[in-house]
């Protein structure tokens, strides 16, 4: 079965299905064939639902389309990141101790995508508990980038990003607690949006989350695709006390309209501290010129926020340690060594460490308030260097300069801690022929503005349909 329609955008695929130019059954055949053909190399998909059930769902979607009852994502195969629940499939978190953890209900996001007509095909790979930007674990192994099998597609949404970039799945879920949507989007040339905190409800969760950095958001081929997905997933839920009310607009309609004119865009090549690969810095600086061409005012951002990489790491480790406490120390050997070493840093949390983190985060908030008083948007690189090897490690230096702690997330972590929406668009290719991401950050709750500006850039520098479908 040809996979040609798998190279289509999600929006185009939905249109083809609704117009009966394509059958959901044929699309399911093509998707499963593509998974089978690529998974030995990519290892993007780590679990599949029963084939008979999948084709029964596809036939039911075909009947709804024929009867004029098609929903927005009717018949679209969906991959779910293996940190997120979908009823009847294991949510392993990429971890051996949870390899039999069958979910009894859908996450809110998955439930909404299913209600919109998407058909869950299976799970996509993720690093253990999403702890790093390289997707590998002891349970399922290493996921590789379709741009270069020796490189990582990023993490923690690495399985999803590889599947989207390689045209394996037309839709897959993703989440971002420190860059886990934007970093994989940058590494695979896809579009990724870290939504405003609360825009897409999280849960339902077994533990209350005191940390407020992680969000669900779209990781797709194009900006329009992301807007279509967000239209299905955004809106308040009683199961997430931080969820935002319905935005009162269609994101898809917003990106199809005109971008607001005369925006004040602040460009920071390094946020005052990041160590950036020279060809990536040059490519992003060139890409920023697109905004000036479109009539926006582009100027430099003075200074930068405080560095919070270590504080972000300890806060995350402390929260994760509370979840894993029942497994430790008896089952410690079943976890990855690097992962469990990171979790143990959570025991370093003290009132003094908490207070330092809180003070620095307050400084970050002040910097964001002052900066967004001067600018409508902030633009930076997404990631400071090329994708690392598929199994790691991260580079300790770039162009002869030492990398900081959590250097891969130098540009992404601040906006998880601040709650601002931030997207990654493909800005070009590095000297190694690998995708480069440019980050667009908007004011709180202005996901629509970030999407509109990203779409305006995409019109000038389109990256679709240039995808690595063979290697």
Q: Which of 95, 107, 145, 156 is catalytic?
A: 156
- Exposed, middle or buried: residue 20 (CB in 10 Å: 0-12, 13-18, 19+)? exposed
For the chain, what is the mean pLDDT?
A: 96
Whole-number Cα distances in Å, 219 to 81, 158, 172, 194, 264: 11, 10, 7, 9, 26
Could you read off the pLDDT of 211-264 as tens digits, one per residue?
A: 789 999 999 999 999 999 999 999 999 999 999 999 999 999 999 999 999 999
Q: In the block, which residue shows the tokens 């930007």? A: 133
Ramachandran area for residue 86 (φ above 0: left; ψ -120 to 50: alpha; else beta): beta
pTM of the entire structure? 0.98
Q: What is the mean pLDDT of the segment spanning 88-97?
A: 98
Q: Give the residues across from 145 on adjacent strands.
A: 148
Whole-number Cα distances in Å, 337 to 132, 341, 342, 344: 13, 6, 9, 11
Can you tell me the distance from the alpha carbon of 147 to that of 88, in angstroms, rounded to the nearest whole number? Answer: 33
Which pLDDT does position 1 carry in this prediction?
35
Q: Which of 157, 180, 268, 430 is catalytic?
A: 180
- What percent of the chain is modeled with pLDDT above 70? 99
Known catalytic residue at 81:
yes
Q: 3 pLDDT band (50/70/90 cuts)?
A: low
Could you read off the pLDDT of 157-181 as tens digits, one per residue?
A: 999 999 999 999 999 999 999 999 9
Q: Give the residues across from 192 on adjacent strands.
A: 219, 424
Helices H / strands E in the chain, number of each: 14, 17
Can you tell me the distance from the alpha carbon of 241 to that of 209, in angstroms, rounded to the nearest whole number? Answer: 10
Q: Which of 81, 123, 194, 221 is catalytic?
A: 81
Q: Judge whether 200 and 109 are in contact, CB under 8 Å.
A: yes
Q: Judge whether 64 and 78 are in contact, CB under 8 Å.
A: no
Can you tell me the distance from the alpha carbon of 93 to that of 105, in angstroms, rounded to the nearest whole number? Answer: 16
Asked if the model's pLDDT at residue 287 lies above 60, the reply is: yes
Could you read off the pLDDT of 395-419 as tens digits, one per residue?
A: 999 999 999 889 999 999 999 999 9
CB atoms within 10 A of CB 457: 25
- What percent of the chain is modeled with pLDDT above 90? 95
Which pLDDT does position 15 carry in this prediction?
98
- Nearest Cα neighbor of 170 from 222, 242, 114, 107 is 222
Could you read off the pLDDT of 11-62 as tens digits, one per residue?
A: 999 999 999 999 999 999 999 999 999 999 999 999 999 999 999 999 999 9
Query: What domains sit in the chain, N to C, each tagged with a CATH number?
Result: 4-460 (3.90.1300.10)
Q: 210 pLDDT band (50/70/90 cuts)?
A: confident
Q: Judge whether 14 and 76 are in contact, CB under 8 Å.
A: yes
User: What does the buried/exposed string (b/e) look like for 88-110 if buried means 16 or more CB atoms within 10 Å of the residue's CB?
Assistant: ebbbbbbbbbbeeeebeebbbbb
- Exposed, middle or buried: residue 50 (CB in 10 Å: 0-12, 13-18, 19+)? exposed
- Nearest Cα neighbor of 125 from 101, 149, 160 is 160
Known catalytic residue at 268:
no
Asked if the model's pLDDT at residue 104 lies above 70, the reply is: yes
Q: Judge whether 175 and 216 are in contact, CB under 8 Å.
A: yes
């Amino acid at each position: 079965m040809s996979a040609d329609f798998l190279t289509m955008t999600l929006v185009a695929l939905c249109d083809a299905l609704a117009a009966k130019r394509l059958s959901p059954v044929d699309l399911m055949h093509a998707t499963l064939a593509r998974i089978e053909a690529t998974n030995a190399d990519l290892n993007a998909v780590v679990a599949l639902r029963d084939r008979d059930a999948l084709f029964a769902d596809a036939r039911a979607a075909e009947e709804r389309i024929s009867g004029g009852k098609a929903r927005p994502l009717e018949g679209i195969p969906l991959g779910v990141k293996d940190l997120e629940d979908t009823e009847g499939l294991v949510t392993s978190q990429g971890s051996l101790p949870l390899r039999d953890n069958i979910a009894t209900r859908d996450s809110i996001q998955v439930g909404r995508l299913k209600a919109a007509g998407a058909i869950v095909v299976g799970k996509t790979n993720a690093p253990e508990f999403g702890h790093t930007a390289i997707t590998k674990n002891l349970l399922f192994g290493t996921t590789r980038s379709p741009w270069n099998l020796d490189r990582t597609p990023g993490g923690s949404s690495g399985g999803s990003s590889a599947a989207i970039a390689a045209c394996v799945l037309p839709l897959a879920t993703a989440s971002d607690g420190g860059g886990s949507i934007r970093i994989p989007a940058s590494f695979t040339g896809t579009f990724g949006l870290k939504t405003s905190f609360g825009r897409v409800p999280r849960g339902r969760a077994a533990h209350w989350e005191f940390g407020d950095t992680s969000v669900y958001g779209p990781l797709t081929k194009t900006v329009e695709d992301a807007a279509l997905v967000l239209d299905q997933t955004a809106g308040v839920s009683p199961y997430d006390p931080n969820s935002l009310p319905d935005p009162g607009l269609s994101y898809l309609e917003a990106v199809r309209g005109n971008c607001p004119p005369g925006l004040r865009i602040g460009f920071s090549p390094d946020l005052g501290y990041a160590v950036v690969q020279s060809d990536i810095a040059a490519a992003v600086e060139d890409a920023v010129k697109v905004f000036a061409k479109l009539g926006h005012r582009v100027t430099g951002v003075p200074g930068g926020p405080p560095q919070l990489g270590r504080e972000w790491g300890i806060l995350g480790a402390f929260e994760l340690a509370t979840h894993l406490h029942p497994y430790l120390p008896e089952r410690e050997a079943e976890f990855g060594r690097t992962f469990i070493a990171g979790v143990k840093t959570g025991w370093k949390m003290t009132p003094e460490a908490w207070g330092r983190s809180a003070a620095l985060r307050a400084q970050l908030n002040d910097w964001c308030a002052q900066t967004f008083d001067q600018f409508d948007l902030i633009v930076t690189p997404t990631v400071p260097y090329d994708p690392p090897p598929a199994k790691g490690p991260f580079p300790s230096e770039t162009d002869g300069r030492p990398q900081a702690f959590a250097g891969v997330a130098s540009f992404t972590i601040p906006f998880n801690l601040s709650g601002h929406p931030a997207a990654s668009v493909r800005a070009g290719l590095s000297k190694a022929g690998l995708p480069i991401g440019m980050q667009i950050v908007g004011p709180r709750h202005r996901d629509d503005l970030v999407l509109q500006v990203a779409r305006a850039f995409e019109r000038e520098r389109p990256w679709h349909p240039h995808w690595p479908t063979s290697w």
